[in-house]
Chains A and B, each alone.
Chain A
């Protein structure tokens, strides 16, 4: 449905107002607060030993997590598309569990599973390993859901053609399959990275806020509670900038990924960040074809 000209203008005004009140103004307040004491104070807050330690821990854990995600996410997407086994539909459905399960519940159960009461005898609670496991849990769907549709759409005859030209299994994967999955994989990894950088709930009970396991979001919370708004805001701005960079990179990746006219978006089920609105809304040539 097209709105009449005036309607579209009014609609844009309302959308702009809504986004300003809900999203932009609050974020502006954070940036404003972080600059309260000038650039110097901002820099001091960001470079305080505790802040640096939390940022370092967050980034390192997130990097480890996305590497594991890239590998296992691709394997899981692969078996969901190319393999056949009983219960596949159920497995496919359960992939989205981390999107549906509240993070605090995840944290609680991971603590029970891999804490001092572990039925497997694995106790990693309140260690950096716990941070990694918690982040692995919440970011699991991203790569799977980004790679799966690309794998599904992929023309199997490309592989047959490569095989007929003498390529072996590994060569086919490396030269044919992997390059086609790469845009989805990259977008999934970037989204998972963004999510991992900001994660709070799942880490809270399982890894706790010990000096050793304090990720940035937990650090920000502790700063708020101790009334240090500047410290909280400064680190928040760092995370905010990282989010913006990652979102922009996802858009760029998708534009790059659709250069072979593959359907864009990769169908990131629950988190499709789409640049498609930008590219597909050209004036339609209304004639014929």
Chain B
């Protein structure tokens, strides 16, 4: 059950969007495809929906090979980044479209549509046109429309990408609750790691058309497979071959054999969190994340010398790098980071 993609390849002209990608998404899970622009995550999602034909590879949905099936017969609900609202139809007609295609009777359509509109909190707006809705409302309408046909899987392409920050946050929480209620296998695409970690149970990190690593938010943060994943899922400093999270950067006033000397260049107070920026002897710029209390205790001033000691560091030495950033694979529980990873989620 769930969704499996095996050895997917897709090329657009000179651009290889997917390079031998394999993922498997368990039944009923909420999974995020995370990656920067051009990483291939949307292409992968569209290939699962059948909106993009693969050059090679297989898509299996709930134990059925869907590779050759047209989108109409894959039983997927797809939510588009820019909503793809049917502009000439009311909210009611939009949500009821799939049911009408399936030749449902009018009263049944009406019941189902109103049930869904209540679910997405749009019940009072059934008679409006998409142009009369806000962005968040349009996106909820698009979601109701996708859910109306009771899809086996729900696919969302950057569902919150076009919304402002506040609405994004609300919809995020709301999507998580919705998933808890409906338990339909859900994959959503995002480039925002905070969003992915907030909403998803499982994450698949993609870069340059390949899967870099997959796992829970915690696994990715604590045991990143390579430099790319490490820097994509959180802030990172580079000290020689070591990569250190800013909150793992201890600042002390007395040097010992484990510390490095740094000049305090700038101290930025971001509420509770304090960001202290250093320049090291070799010119490297790094920063440490301190609490207000730590800063007061250290009495740091801009322009003074202090000493840095990483409390936890990672280095990715080993087999040749799998991505152009030069990150490489550590021996890890996930054995991720390999170009041809079969990312079991």
Contact = CB atoms under 8 A, between A and B. Distances in A.
- The answer to A–B direct touch (Cβ < 8 A) is yes
Interface of A: 283-289
A284 B43 CA distance: 11
Ranked nearest first, the 8 interchain pairs of A and B with the lowest CB-CB distance are A288-B37, A287-B42, A283-B12, A283-B13, A286-B43, A287-B38, A287-B43, A288-B42
A288 B41 CA distance: 8
B52 interface: yes
A286 B13 contact: no
Interface in B17-71: 17, 36-43, 46, 52
Contact of A286 (B12, B36, B158, B191): B12
B127 to A, nearest CB: 28
Contacts of B40: 287
B15 interface: yes
A284 B38 CA distance: 12
Nearest to A4: B70
B52 A286 contact: yes
B15 A288 contact: no
16 contacts: A283-B12, A283-B13, A284-B12, A285-B12, A285-B17, A286-B42, A286-B43, A286-B46, A287-B17, A287-B39, A287-B40, A287-B42, A288-B37, A288-B38, A288-B41, A288-B191
Contacts of B158: 288
Contacts of B39: 287-288
Nearest to B44: A287
Contacts of A287: 17, 37-43
A5 to B, nearest CB: 11
Q: How large is the interface on B (under 10, 10 to 19, 20 to 34, 35 or more residues)?
A: 10 to 19
A289 B46 CA distance: 14
B294 to A, nearest CB: 39
A69 to B, nearest CB: 38
Given A286-B52, A287-B43, 9 more contacts: A283-B12, A284-B12, A286-B17, A286-B43, A287-B41, A288-B39, A288-B41, A288-B42, A288-B191
Q: State the main secondary structure of chain B at its contact with A.
A: loop
Contacts of B12: 283-286
Interface in B203-235: none
Contacts of A285: 12, 15, 17, 38
Contacts of A284: 12
Contacts of B41: 287-288
A288 B162 CA distance: 12
B5 to A, nearest CB: 16
Contacts of A286: 12, 17, 42-43, 46, 52
A285 B12 CA distance: 7
Nearest to B46: A286
A287 B45 CA distance: 10
Contacts of B36: 288
A118 B125 CA distance: 63
A245 B65 CA distance: 55
A173 to B, nearest CB: 37
Nearest to A289: B37
A245 B158 CA distance: 47
Contacts of B52: 286
A283 B158 CA distance: 21
Contacts of A288: 36-39, 41-42, 158, 191
A11 B13 CA distance: 24
A289 B161 CA distance: 9
B50 to A, nearest CB: 13
A289 B38 CA distance: 8
A284 B10 CA distance: 13
Contacts of A289: 37
A288 B37 CA distance: 6
Interface centre among A286, A287, A288 (most CB of B within 10 A): A287
A287 B191 CA distance: 11
B139 to A, nearest CB: 17
A105 B40 CA distance: 61
Nearest to B38: A287
A96 B178 CA distance: 54
Contacts of B17: 285-287
B145 to A, nearest CB: 19
A263 to B, nearest CB: 19
A283 B13 CA distance: 7
B46 to A, nearest CB: 6
A286 B52 CA distance: 9
A279 to B, nearest CB: 15
Contacts of B191: 288
Contacts of B37: 287-289
B47 to A, nearest CB: 9
Nearest to B47: A286
A289 B12 CA distance: 16
B93 to A, nearest CB: 19
B140 to A, nearest CB: 22
A286 B43 CA distance: 6
A157 B143 CA distance: 40
Interface centre among A283, A285, A288, A289 (most CB of B within 10 A): A288
B326 to A, nearest CB: 23
A277 to B, nearest CB: 18
B42 to A, nearest CB: 5
Interface string B252-281: 000000000000000000000000000000
A286 B11 CA distance: 10
Contacts of B42: 286-288
B19 to A, nearest CB: 13
